[in-house]
Chain A
Amino acid sequence: MSLLEVKHITKRFGGLVAVSQLEFDVKKGEIIGLIGPNGAGKTTAFNMIAGTMRPTTGEIRFMDKKISNLKTNKIAALGVVRTFQLSTHFGNMTVLENVILGNHCRAGIGLWASLLHTGGARNRAAGSREEALRILEFMGLKDQRNELAKNLPHGQQRCLEVAIALATKPTLLLLDEPLQGMNHEELADMLDRIGRIRNGGITILLVEHNMKAVTSTCDRVVVLNFGEKIAEGLPRDVMKNTQVIEAYLGVEE
């Protein structure tokens, strides 16, 4: 059984059809790439899986449970967590606080317990803190843990955003252009980490423009153009597909 099933989803905005009858599966432990030229509908599809938008028709199932009609926070609690294309973090809080917050939904700290500062709440908070430090170490941000998030350079902010998502202990991690704005070194680091995240047992679906990265990292690739799926399969096979090449003609990597 697949972890995520995208079943014939369509998204209409008034007269415009952004995504049409999209269908694909994601199996546990895979790294799937969702690619296509600008305006192909990747972001819309991504948003529908993450719960930011609802499909006009069709449904999305996660672990055989329908999620396409659920709110974002419910979907995240179930284990499908996304990052954002544009810088999204808690700017005026420290890096460590950012990641601790990511862990909140798993920490099990009750509201009253937190208010009354009970022993149980304090223990769980300490546990969250340790988990957050572990994740920061993994993402290479441990030294920056007391920095305000807004003061980090761009590449590190992107790492922070992935760290926050990791803190939620996701089953399926949705990465929205994780490599955007990174230099070669940061890019290589991030790709390495993505691989290690998958090896740790987390399934990954990513949207990316960087073709080299996609070919080297993804197990399978789904190609969209004008809202429709035009190809699916191993990266090197898909890259040779004439339709795919045509779709990308004239688009610089």
Chain B
Amino acid sequence: MNFDFSEDQRTIKATARELLASRSPFERVREAAERGRYDDGLWRELCELGWPGIAVAEAYGGQGLGAVELAVLLEELGYAVAATPLLGSVLAATAIEHAGTDEQRERWLPGLAVGELAGAFGGVGDLVADAADADVIVLVEGGAPRLLARADADVDAVEAIDPTRRYARVQGEGTALAGDVEGALGRAGIAVAAELVGVCQRALDMTVAYVSERKQFGVPVGAFQAVAHRCAQMLLHTEGVRSAAYFGAWAADAAPERLAEAAGLACAVAGEAGREVTGSAIQAHGGIGFTWEADVHWLYKRAQLDAALLGSASAHRARLARLVAAQRATAAAPA
């Protein structure tokens, strides 16, 4: 039992944190968001570092690392709320790699792995993350994913409340991704949950810093229990979604038989935790938190769209309860 990152994974995390802190501070995020564009310089740099292909097999030009390493990068991406098409690209690559045919993999993965192609992922009728400029889109309908080349897709760009990403509504036939659909969608959910871990952690860090500085009645507002307890609650949510996302990433790499259960857990918990923690961050910042300049709103907006991408938490929870009941009925049945 070792529920922690390896030395290599810690190094990846620290390097990613450092890189994004210097290349994608909030001024850059805001600039990209206000222009309705990605931060192209940052995206090129991340591609040169091989981020989009971190979990793609080496045979397809990726780095051949696992879901845990991908989770590490996405957590840091969320921490920075960086304006890049990384999430859509890695989600599309994950879906194609695990549920695609050899032909589909060969067609799309090499380009996605090095960032020559951008991907998108989302549901029919939903705002599909990173779809506005994508070359290839994975569209999910009723739990079944299909693959659409840009030329075959009807893409209607939408300015979502999260302007750090370029969303679109997408329609089109495409071709089915018919392989390990459950594994592919499970991994995608876990990856989104990992981004939300970073979003939550950033919201918490910003809030703790702010309430430790901001004084009213002669003391830092963080000394008031109403504020301090709100921060404690934010930590509870953050650590909870962290436990679920890390467990999921580990299961994806090392215990595929537990992937469905782990993905269900991550999907059920991450969206609400993200919304709760980032909403709390705005509240704890007071009036400042409601201003455009304060930057906490980027986290809140990202959390809202990520939560939507994960789908209904109550549906995930209901599915989990029925799964447990079914497993227990099977275990209790005479052999």
Chain A complexes with chain B: no
